[in-house]
Amino acid sequence: RDKLKTGQIPVTPPPTSPAVQHPLWPEVDRVVKQQVTMAKMGIGECGTGWQLFAEDGEMKMYRREEEVDGMVVDPLKAVHVVKGITGHEVCNYFFNPKYRYDWETTLEHMTVLETISDDTMVFLQTHKRIWPASQRDVVFWSHMRKLPNGQDRDGPDMWTVVNNSTESSEHPANAGKCVRIYLTVCLLCQTRVHPPKDGTPISRDNVSCKITYCSVVNPGGWAPASVLRAVYKREYPKFLKRFTAYVVNQTKNQPILF
């Protein structure tokens, strides 16, 4: 950044993440902005063909049937509203590797390949095999970010975690027993506060979190379309219900993290 003379106000705000020094940074920043813009759009605003395939209380899951080179790559968009938790808390539990085995039921093994900064890491994960397909693995960067609340300037900030496939020279694709999958995932969280009318302090009863989860997974190699669609129809709702229940349970006796 340009050196500032005393009293001068910077034109561009300072970078918010030390990850800006890393070669992956331009891609991280571009993909995060693009994914957040898409996630903020309502189901009617982001193209046609969305079908509701799962609904449970406040949770709604939509998919669009898409194939690339004969492989199912159906985009998913899910919305959920969960009482008693904040967006910052939801993103912490989704991003932080120390909690991942607690909620990620398809996971077989996770390794942190690189910690770029507190909010940006590269992961290698192997997932459970789905018969009759080969086992899958995935290498992706993961970035967590606070976003200004565009609608209500005084309201809590929004938070996001974006996961996006990347390459690793030490772990090349399809070198072992696993087939490499490619994914782009965006978790976008908006906290709502419903202040008590009698002026008592805000408790967990007065907060809720609107969660948007968008995902595109390319299976990377042959997998029967019918099996794959049956698996994600079962696994995505299971994931979102289990993960959010986990965050509620972990935070219930903790101070609220806005």
CA angle 105/190/65 to nearest 5° reads: 55
CB of 119 to ligand 16C, least distance (A): 16
Which token pair is 228? 């794959």
CB of 37 to ligand 16C, least distance (A): 19
Q: Which of 110, 38, 107, 108 is nearest to 76 (CA)?
A: 38
- Of 134 and 206, nearer to ligand 16C (C-beta) is 134
Interface map 116-155 toward ligand 16C (x if CB under 6 A): ---------x-xx-x--x--x-x-----------------
Q: By CB under 6 A, what part of segment 48-107 binds ligand 16C?
A: 100, 104, 106
The end-to-end CA distance of the chain, in Å, is 31
Among 141, 209, 236, 237, binds ligand 16C (CB under 6 A): 236
24 DSSP 8-state letter: T
CB of 198 to ligand 16C, least distance (A): 40
Phi, psi of 202 (to 5 degrees): -70, 130
Among 86, 163, 166, 190, binds ligand 16C (CB under 6 A): 163
Q: Which of 210, 131, 139, 206 is nearest to 174 (CA)?
A: 139
Q: Which amino acid is at 138?
A: V
Q: Where are the alpha helices (DSSP H) in 77-146?
A: 87-95, 100-103
Q: By CB under 6 A, what part of segment 165-224 binds ligand 16C?
A: 181, 183, 185, 217, 219, 223
Among 228, 247, 251, 256, binds ligand 16C (CB under 6 A): 228
Q: By CB under 6 A, what part of segment 101-120 binds ligand 16C?
A: 104, 106
User: Alpha-carbon Rg of the chain, whole angstroms?
Assistant: 20
Q: Which of 180, 244, 174, 183 is nearest to 212 (CA)?
A: 244
Q: Is residue 232 within 8 Å of 76, Cβ to Cβ?
A: yes
Among 117, 157, 235, 250, binds ligand 16C (CB under 6 A): 235
CA–chain centroid gap for 122, Å, is 14
Span of 19-27, 168-176, 189-197, 231-239 interacting with ligand 16C by CB under 6 A: 231-239
Among 173, 239, 251, 256, binds ligand 16C (CB under 6 A): 239
Residue ranges binding ligand 16C (CB under 6 A): 100, 104, 106, 125, 127-128, 130, 133, 136, 138, 163, 181, 183, 185, 217, 219, 223, 228, 231-232, 235-236, 239
